[in-house]
Structure 1
Amino acid sequence: MKSVLVLCTGNSCRSIIAEALINTLAEEKYIAKSAGSEPVGTVHPKSIEILKEHGINTKNLRSKSWDEFQDMHFDVVISVCDRNDSKTCPIFFGKHKKLNWNTPDPDKTEGTREEINTAFTKTFIFLKGKIEGELL
């Protein structure tokens, strides 16, 4: 079983969704954790909602700092930050395969409830496609 760390800045949306998807879609091959360089401390309710809509387990998901994993080895580290964002993508040093999946932050979407829901759905679909295409 290979270990995966999914990183973003806040660890409330993108990395949380990716962690849950990897642990569900690739449970025979990978075990995933997620973290943020500046964790907000809570998982976005829409992240939980979109995962539950697709039958993905959300039980142990929590927003956490990458400091929690600084002494651990990971086989793969995936950054899901948005390169178009003003914040710098977190870099986790060590000997591991590095992937960068440029993912817009659905939490930054402004607009109607429908537009926000659409942003989270797009994030879910994008990350699911990346996992299926690059990890499975």
Structure 2
Amino acid sequence: MIKILFVCTHNACRSVLAEVTANRLGAGRITAASAGSAPAGRVHPLTLNYLSSRNIATEGLKSQGMDEFEDFAPDLVITVCDRAAGEACPLWLGDTAKAHWGLPDPSHAGLEGDDALEQAFDAVVDVLQRRIQALLDANGDSLLGDSLQALAAQVAEQEPYRE
């Protein structure tokens, strides 16, 4: 079993979608959580609406900071937004494997109408599913350290974001 912490600046949309997707796909092989470098304090309502519309439970989802996960001891930290990629991680992460899976924020498509919003969320979740499945297919849950970090980076290159 591998523990993955998905990080986004506000922990309101992309990192939450990644957490939910990883826990669903990796049941028994992945335990995922999400955090923010500057948490918004709430999950974006559009994210909750999207998940609920697909009959995915949203209870217990919340926006929280990285420091709240020291006891979680992740094997891999994946940043999913460009701003979080360059930010310093807490000291307790030490040599934890890290990767960047940059994705656009689908909640910003809400200004373009319902169809655009749904398509934006679908596109982000589709790429997350492909990347997480690729990790599982390559037995990433049995790797640690540099090997896990290299695999996570390779997965992002092989499964690009497509609109």
TM-score range, shorter chain: 0.7 to 0.9
Unaligned segments of structure 1, at least 5 residues? none
2:43 matched residue in structure 1: 43
Listed as ranges, the matches of 1:56-135 within 5 Å are 56-70=56-70, 72-82=72-82, 87-89=83-85, 90-92=87-89, 93-109=93-109, 110-135=111-136
- Aligned mates of 1:70, 1:91 — CA distance in 2: 15
Is the contact made by 2:7 and 2:84 (CA closer than 8 Å) also made in structure 1? no
1:26 aligns with 2:26: yes
Q: Deviations over 1:108-134 (max 9, x none)?
A: 333122212221121111111111112
- Aligned mates of 1:33, 1:39 — CA distance in 2: 14
| Corresponding residue SS for 2:63 | coil
2:11 matched residue in structure 1: 11
Deviates more, 1:48-57 or 1:24-33: 48-57
Name the CA shift for 1:14/1:88 in 2 (closer, same or farther; >3 Å).
Answer: closer
Q: How far apart are 1:91 and its partner, in Å?
A: 4.2
TM-score w.r.t. structure 1 length?
A: 0.85
CA RMSD for the aligned pairs?
1.9
Is the contact made by 2:47 and 2:107 (CA closer than 8 Å) also made in structure 1? no
- Aligned mates of 1:29, 1:88 — CA distance in 2: 26
- Aligned mates of 1:79, 1:122 — CA distance in 2: 17
| Corresponding residue SS for 2:58 | coil
More helix, by proportion: 2
Identity of matched residues, %? 36
Q: Deviations over 1:66-122 (max 9, x none)?
A: 12124542111111013xxxx352443422221211111112333122212221121
Unaligned segments of structure 2, at least 5 residues? 138-163
